[in-house]
Amino acid sequence: MRKLSRRQQENRKRTENIIYSNSEEAIKILRETATAKFIESVELHANLNIDPKYADQQLRTTVTLPNGIGKSIRIAVLTNASNFTEATQNGADIVGSDDLIDEISQGNINFDLLIATPDMMPRLAKLGRVLGPKGLMPSPKSGTVSTTLSATLSEFKKGKFEYKADKTGIVHVSFGKSNFTDNQLVENLIALYKSIEQNRPPGVKGKYFKSLFICTSMGPSIQLDLNTFD
């Protein structure tokens, strides 16, 4: 069995078998245990009472956190030539039409998010096998199929992102960086929790949340009382 470092042992003592009922206190401990030599991501892991194999128990939605997640993304826009100027002026890093489709088909994916206008979707269908596994296929549900490019680009540049529950019903999502202030992380955590709560799938019966943990990339898990946000 791998031996824990002194740093890991000390962090574990501060969090093991403790359930925090105060989000401010939990975030304070989280930042104090973020002792890696780089800026760590801050993550939420929510175990939900859902079975995603059923259509009415799936969770997939978008959220814009008040303080962003501390990550800039490259956005590509697939549209017709008449929209190129609008997309470029509103922050798109890559803009194209059939030429962009050809680039993607050759495996040249130099972006983190792809936004498309509805008229381009039929041409993009053949690339489902390329974009789908990477989570880059535009869809109306994720807000990445849009006729209002200016507004859509503005939202995603401000930090809007998509998240979903995995096949076991757990949501794993980053909500900031360890160099954020306590207040910024608390605000983001509350906003993310409310987003999950408000997008409760219609097929859920009874209790929705099973457990809720936060952590940094290299830090220990910190469990939150499910009544923390009531």
Report yes or no on whether pTM surpasses 0.75: yes
Give per-residue pLDDT as tens, 15-42.
Answer: 666 788 899 999 999 998 888 889 999 9
3-state secondary structure 1-68: CCCCCHHHHHHHHHHCCCEECCHHHHHHHHHHCCCCCCCCEEEEEEEECCCCCCHHHCCEEEECCCCC
Last residue of a domain, one of 102, 124, 157: 157
150 burial (CB, 10 Å; 0-12 / 13-18 / 19+) is middle
- The Cα–Cα gap between 220 and 213 comes to 10
Position 53 pLDDT exceeds 60: yes
Shared domain for 184 and 206, answered yes or no, is yes
Give per-residue pLDDT as tens, 145-178.
Answer: 999 999 999 989 888 888 999 999 999 999 999 9
Shared domain for 166 and 148, answered yes or no, is no
Asked if 149 contacts 155 with a C-beta cutoff of 8 angstroms, the reply is no
User: Is residue 97 in a domain?
Assistant: yes
Shared domain for 165 and 63, answered yes or no, is yes
User: Is residue 7 in a domain?
Assistant: no
Sequence-separated (6 or more) residues with CB below 8 Å from residue 105: 126, 127, 130
Instruction: Count CA atoms within 13 Å of residue 189 on its CB side.
Output: 29
Place of tokens 């940094």: 216
User: Is residue 90 in a domain?
Assistant: yes
CATH code, 119:
3.40.50.790
Give per-residue pLDDT as tens, 59-91.
Answer: 989 999 999 898 888 999 999 999 999 999 999
- The Cα–Cα gap between 12 and 220 comes to 6
For the chain, how many structural domains are there in total?
2
First to last CA, the chain: 40
User: Is residue 135 in a domain?
Assistant: yes
Alpha carbon 221 to its chain's center: 18
The pLDDT assigned to 214 comes to: 96
User: Is residue 6 in a domain?
Assistant: no
Full residue range of the structural domain in which residue 87 is found: 75-157
Asked if 127 contacts 120 with a C-beta cutoff of 8 angstroms, the reply is no
Asked if 49 contacts 165 with a C-beta cutoff of 8 angstroms, the reply is no
Please give the mean pLDDT across all residues of the chain: 90
Q: Give the model's confidence band at 52: pLDDT under 50 very low, under 70 low, under 90 confident, else very high.
A: very high
Shared domain for 100 and 172, answered yes or no, is no
Last residue of a domain, one of 126, 157, 188: 157
Q: Give the model's confidence band at 12: pLDDT under 50 very low, under 70 low, under 90 confident, else very high.
A: low
